């Protein structure tokens, strides 16, 4: 039997979801069987899986030790101090400038040199996170960027902020802007592009077409040309819809692939491009929150990355 006292970072989540986090080797079907048999209790009493946990509740699990999972502290095995470029930080969240080439999470090769591990080590060294103290919470990324795309990543430092930030991202209460260098010069210096996109998960690519078709989702991309020269255009881009590889695929479909992009561009087109990664950066964001929001102190604030590496190359 294991006993967990619910903390602020555990509270306001369903019992079944809490159990799945602390007993990750327990299948959902067996978990609900144990709930029916009263082997999982709150404050010594039978509980339903949808019961919301409150601070101070005591959860008891009368199940075998083999079902419990230890929280990983692999981040501590990074052989050097955390390398982070922090745009903003407070008690609830961090905005981190992820550099191109850095994966946000472990890839198929199992590398521990990831953005999230650097963040966990940073917070651990500050005394703001200890996996041995937390029951179910781990600081988490609330948005993601491709490995080879740079820019601002939002990090939740506590559970309440995590819930709020996931909703903010989901309901587009944060406006994000990207800088990119695209090949060629645009006839229209400012436009809203519309098309349809389908994801091929196996190939990790997307296909863009102009007209609606079953299996394809609408994409809307706004751009504004900031500067031109050397056969390239510096754009500020807004994603009205947020689909996989949308900017890269949509601009390539329009005949202007992102510079350095070998997936949606062609090697011959990039032979004189000096970048190892696609020249795409999530460089700016601004929160748009109601006055009564948990994070309302961020409303209207704009955060921006300084000195995007390709910004002044034209």
CA neighbours closer than 13 Å in the CB half-sphere of residue 95: 19
CATH T-level topology, domain 2-67: 3.10.290
Q: What is the largest CA-CA distance in the chain?
A: 72
pTM of the predicted model as reported, rounded to 2 decimal places: 0.91
Helix, strand, coil shares of the chain, percent, nearest 5, are: 20, 30, 50
pLDDT at 138: 94
Confirm whether 2-67 and 178-282 share one CATH topology.
no
* CA 260/CA 276 separation, integer angstroms: 6
pLDDT at 72: 77
pLDDT in tens, the chain (314 residues): 999 999 999 999 999 999 999 999 999 999 999 999 999 999 999 999 999 999 999 999 999 999 998 877 777 766 466 679 999 999 999 999 999 999 998 776 667 789 999 999 999 999 999 999 999 999 999 998 999 999 999 999 999 999 999 999 999 999 999 999 999 999 999 999 999 999 999 999 999 999 999 999 999 999 999 999 999 999 999 999 999 999 999 999 999 999 999 999 988 888 888 888 999 999 999 999 999 999 999 999 999 998 999 999 98
pLDDT at 184: 95
Q: Which CATH architecture fits 178-282?
A: 2-Layer Sandwich (3.30)
**CATH class for domain 74-171?**
alpha beta
* CA 191/CA 237 separation, integer angstroms: 10
pLDDT at 78: 62
Domain coordinates in residue numbering, the chain: 2-67, 74-171, 178-282
Q: Nearest-5° angle of CA 180, CA 181, CA 187?
A: 105
pLDDT at 77: 65
Q: 202-210 — which CB contacts under 8 Å span 24+ positions?
A: 205/245, 205/249, 205/263, 205/264, 206/243, 206/244, 206/245, 206/246, 206/249, 207/249, 208/249, 208/250, 208/252, 208/253
């Amino acid at each position: 039997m294991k006993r967990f006292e619910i903390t602020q970072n555990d509270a306001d989540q369903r019992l079944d979801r809490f159990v799945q986090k602390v007993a990750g080797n327990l299948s959902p079907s067996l978990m609900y069987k144990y709930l029916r048999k009263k082997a999982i209790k709150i404050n010594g009493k039978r509980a339903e899986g949808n019961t919301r946990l409150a601070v101070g509740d005591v959860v008891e699990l009368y199940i075998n030790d083999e079902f419990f999972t230890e929280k990983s502290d692999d981040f501590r095995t990074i052989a050097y101090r955390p390398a982070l470029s922090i745009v903003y930080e407070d008690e609830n969240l961090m905005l981190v400038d992820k550099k191109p080439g850095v994966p946000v999470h472990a890839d198929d090769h199992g590398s521990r040199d990831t953005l999230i591990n650097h963040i966990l080590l940073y917070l651990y060294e500050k005394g703001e996170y200890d996996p041995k103290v937390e029951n179910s919470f781990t600081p988490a990324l609330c948005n993601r960027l491709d490995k080879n795309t740079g820019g601002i990543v939002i990090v939740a430092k506590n559970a309440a902020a995590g819930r709020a930030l996931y909703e903010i991202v989901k309901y587009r209460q944060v406006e994000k802007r990207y800088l990119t260098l695209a090949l060629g010069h645009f006839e229209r210096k400012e436009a809203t592009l519309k098309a349809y996109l389908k994801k091929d998960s196996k190939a990790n690519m997307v296909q863009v077409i102009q007209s609606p078709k079953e299996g394809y989702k609408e994409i809307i991309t706004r751009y504004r040309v900031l500067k031109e020269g050397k056969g390239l255009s510096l754009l500020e881009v807004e994603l009205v819809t947020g689909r996989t590889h949308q900017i890269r695929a949509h601009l390539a479909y329009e005949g202007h692939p992102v510079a350095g992009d070998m997936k949606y561009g062609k090697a011959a087109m990039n032979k004189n491009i000096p970048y190892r990664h696609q020249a795409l950066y999530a460089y700016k964001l601004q929160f748009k929150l109601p006055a009564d929001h948990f994070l309302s102190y961020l409303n209207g604030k704009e955060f921006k990355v300084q000195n995007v590496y390709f910004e002044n190359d034209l």
